[in-house]
Amino acid sequence: MTIPIALTIAGSDSSGGAGIQADLKTFAALGVYGASVITALTAQNTTGVSGIHPVPAAFVAAQIDAVFGDLDVKAVKIGMVAQLASIEAIAAALARWSPAHVVLDPVMVATSGDLLLAPDAVAGLRAKLVPRATLLTPNLPEAAALLDEPVASGEAAIAGQGRRLLALGCPAVLVKGGHGQGPESIDYLITASGTIALPAPRIATDNTHGTGCSLSSAIAALLAKGEALETAVRQAKAWISAAIAAADRLEVGHGHGPIHHFHRFY
């Protein structure tokens, strides 16, 4: 049996709800073999992040080369990169291995509000990794931070920010609407061809830890399986909505609990 393989390049979440752990759960839930490159260790739980220990950039590169040197990676998801040196190492490795699909989730702040990216690394992320991505998946605050603009409100303003993000060098942007208001959470897929609105009912739950990580890794998993970009985004959106809706079935931690990655199975 040949199984599609996806690689996540991200930080480790010691509580298992976000980061590398969420990505590997997502890959498994969607029938994809997951490999991982750890950029940072975090001491965190559902209530917050108490420590970050970046992995040396040379060892990040060594992990990437080890994976690509042996495995037939069909898609890459990039999450928490932690520091500028790691961004540079990842960009150089992507240039070496030229994966077909790169989903870049520009993780800057955890669900708890803790900062996960050094301020001096934002410019490096913008200049070195965004142009290497086939899809960029910022939430509304991340899109604003990448452009050094206020957070957008309303479809026209969000689409405008998406087009300006395209100008940074990536062919597609998915601006996530989870931080918005109203009865629907609307994501916007923006390409040179136009803007597609992807609405879903806004679910009332505090258990959203790892939502962004899991959506981007779901898209990467579906791309690894051969789906077209729009199809992958639509299917990933449906899957993440169901995982959020099932989150309250789990009782994990005392803060923002995880989504239910395996809602289809139990």
The residue ranges of every structural domain in the chain are: 5-249
- The pLDDT score that the predictor gives to residue 178 is 65
- Residue 157's contacts (CB-CB under 8 Å, 6 or more residues apart) are none
Q: What percent of the chain is predicted at pLDDT more than 90?
A: 77
Catalytic residue of the set 74, 128, 176, 237: 176
* 149-158 per-position pLDDT tens digit: 998 888 899 9
Residue 111 known to be catalytic: no
- Residue 11's contacts (CB-CB under 8 Å, 6 or more residues apart) are 19, 20, 38, 39, 40, 41, 42, 52, 79, 80, 82, 107, 116
Cα first-last separation, the chain: 25
Read off the tokens for 224: 């690894």
CATH code at 5-249: 3.40.1190.20
Catalytic residue of the set 8, 39, 46, 211: 211
- The pLDDT score that the predictor gives to residue 205 is 86
Residue 211 known to be catalytic: yes
pTM of this prediction?
A: 0.95
* 217-232 per-position pLDDT tens digit: 999 999 999 999 999 9
* 175-211 per-position pLDDT tens digit: 998 655 666 788 999 999 999 999 888 888 888 888 9
Residue 212 known to be catalytic: yes
Do the beta carbons of residue 79 and residue 211 sit within 8 Å? no
- The pLDDT score that the predictor gives to residue 3 is 97
Residue 46 known to be catalytic: no
Residue 162 known to be catalytic: no
